[in-house]
Amino acid sequence: MADSGESFGMRTRPISGGSTREAELPGVTGVAWPASVERSESPLAQGLRRFRRSATALVGVAIVVALILVALFADVLAPRSPIASDQTRTFQRPSWDYPLGTDQLGRDMLSRVIHGSRISLAVGVSSVLLALFVGVPCGMIAGFYGGRVDTLVMRAMDVILAFPIYLLAIILMVMFTPTAGLIGTMKVTAAIAIVRIPIYARLVRGSVLSIKEKEYIEACHALGVRDPWILLRHVLPNCLAPIIVTTTLGIATSIIVEATLSFLGLGTQPPTPSWGWDLKANVAFIQANAWLSLFPGLAIFVTVLGFNLFGDGLRDALDPRLK
């Protein structure tokens, strides 16, 4: 005679140790499943788990967090004013009083490096956000509607991409006329943002071209859902993964572009502390006082490395093929 479980069309599978667990299914009771079976993880949980397992990604996060903290608390961490000069203490070698030495004007290099993180982080993040604000809508509209709209938007992006990134940034800064202070920083931010707009527009357009052919998009059209709501509610969320990864890596590129423009004398102007400008001002003394160029260059290297490691970790974590 079959047992009671089999009489109702149910089977109980034993597991190691003899323990079983009943599944809670609608309309079905008494079905036992192995206790080791867990609910499937959401894509976000899987991505976080893969991210935490990546040592390089965690190192990148640590560097980025440290940079943010240094930029936020620069006034507290810097031992001296970054623009105060002392002609009696020029070219001081690294010591306890001046851990990174002083430059040709007697300014504390440690204070300038700490405050320079604000400029690099502000320009890097602001330029990427501005490029996203313009490039993402352009890419979504071009990919979703196609036709003449797509041709018009993409040809405009192709014109920008026809210029090498540094050449276009230099041309824009010459047109904007570099200045010191907040206005000068805003000009650098705008120039870098314009250069990076086509990157996000083409990225989003490619994603939208595949997403708009999905069944749920056709269902929205059949139900009479308006296009703006479809774009915001259904299309944009499915484009976030590549956008997030490209944004993180784009911050590193923007920091390099800002440092390059400052090194060429077209970016942040003195007395505003800038890593690129410090490289330009001190490169003439590199043979006798190598530390003047070493520490600003090292700050750029570590910052860009941190964002690159962070971006690579996000890319691996958000890649659905890496399960």
- C-alpha 35/C-alpha 23 separation (Å) is 10
290 to 13, 264, 293, 295: CA distances (angstroms): 72, 19, 6, 9
pLDDT-based confidence at residue 314 (cuts at 50, 70, 90): confident
pLDDT tens-digit readout, 164-189: 999 999 999 999 988 888 888 899 99
pLDDT tens-digit readout, 99-146: 998 998 899 999 999 999 999 999 999 999 999 999 999 999 999 998
What pLDDT, on the 0 to 100 scale, is given for residue 309? 93
What pLDDT, on the 0 to 100 scale, is given for residue 288? 82
* Residue 30 pLDDT exceeds 60: no
Mean pLDDT of 258-277: 90
Residue 130's identity, in one-letter code, is: L
Mean pLDDT of 52-76: 92
Among 33-42, 105-114, 273-282, the least confident range: 33-42
Q: Which of 117, 100, 103, 109 is nearest to 283 (CA)?
A: 103
* Residue 8 pLDDT exceeds 60: no
Q: What domains sit in the chain, N to C, each tagged with a CATH number?
A: 4-33 (no CATH), 44-318 (1.10.3720.10)
Residues found in the chain:
323
Percentage of the chain exceeding pLDDT 70: 85
What pLDDT, on the 0 to 100 scale, is given for residue 240? 87
pLDDT-based confidence at residue 315 (cuts at 50, 70, 90): confident
pTM here is: 0.81
What pLDDT, on the 0 to 100 scale, is given for residue 283? 85
What pLDDT, on the 0 to 100 scale, is given for residue 7? 44
Phi then psi for 84, rounded to 5 degrees?
Answer: -75, 125
pLDDT-based confidence at residue 243 (cuts at 50, 70, 90): very high
- C-alpha 98/C-alpha 117 separation (Å) is 18
Are 153 and 145 contacting, i.e. CB atoms less than 8 angstroms apart?
no
